[in-house]
Structure 1
Amino acid sequence: MARPPVGQINDLTTLANLDENILLEELRYRYGKDQIYTYVGDILVAINPFRDIGIYDKKYSDLYKHGKKSTLPPHLFAIADSAYQSMMGLLPSRDRNQCIVISGESGAGKTESTKLIIKQIIELCKGNTQLEQQILQVNPLLEAFGNAQTLMNDNSSRFGKYLSS
């Protein structure tokens, strides 16, 4: 079977052959087209564009609410939606306990990704004021005690965050 054109696959696990060179080629191509997110199975690979590419506004927030992962381009909001739907028991085949791991080098965008995921989860839980209030109350406290200035980043996180409901 012939390989699809570079950059046309949203989930790289669907490729018949995936090695380091193919992975890097796909990511490089997608990044050049401002497609900064790529799935590798349940993992979302994000490459920080270091500029606003306009994919976090209300239009995108609404698009990924209750969206089906396979029908939409990869996005951080899809991960937030999947975790929220599972946590609320709306996806019966999944565990209600959810964990999103965000990792990368200093300056890679972990803190911004965390803020965007929390923003989307808060948007998703409109009407569930208890969960919304828990998230809103704990995040500023964590930020105040957990960030420090480094040579690479003025607001570098010094900890992991674990939010549970």
Structure 2
Amino acid sequence: MSDQQTPPRPTRLTPEMALRAGRVVAEQLSKDGHIEPRQFNDAAADIARHGRPHMDGYKLAKALDDDEGWDCDMQMVEALDDFSHAADKEIKAAQKAWAEANDIKPPFPVGTSVIARWGGDDYPGTIDQVFGYGVAQYAVKADGETGTTRMIVDYENVREAVL
């Protein structure tokens, strides 16, 4: 994997991804009887326009109430809470497609001493495993860690430690 030839990992929700996530939530709202079939497309678009990754259902409901004239109740808030999960799934799917299209492979083997960029800071550690639940990520054990805590770090945020 050459950083200069590989496009960056997708990390942001595009408008198209947001609309797909909005459709997931609108489908649930429709099944629960909160919107009519004729309102489906507008509801999905409203949700996509106002929803953000990691936004809870209450904040999304408030935005829809304030800006789009919705009248959300607690059952709707629960359904709107699913937008964050649907958005995360969209981003993960985009990352999986990116990894496959660019033949992304682990740049270092398990056991390599590395510097891991995590949470905006650099941490020395050792690659414990390729993280199987994410896309192109390692589980890195920070130096001095005696328990089972690991940092989940994207491949591109790990560099080999110079000893």
Q: RCO greater where, 1 or 2, for CA within 8 Å and sep 6 or more?
A: 2
TM-score norm. by structure 2 comes to: 0.22
Comparing both structures, which one devotes a greater share of its residues to strand? 2
TM-score norm. by structure 1 comes to: 0.22
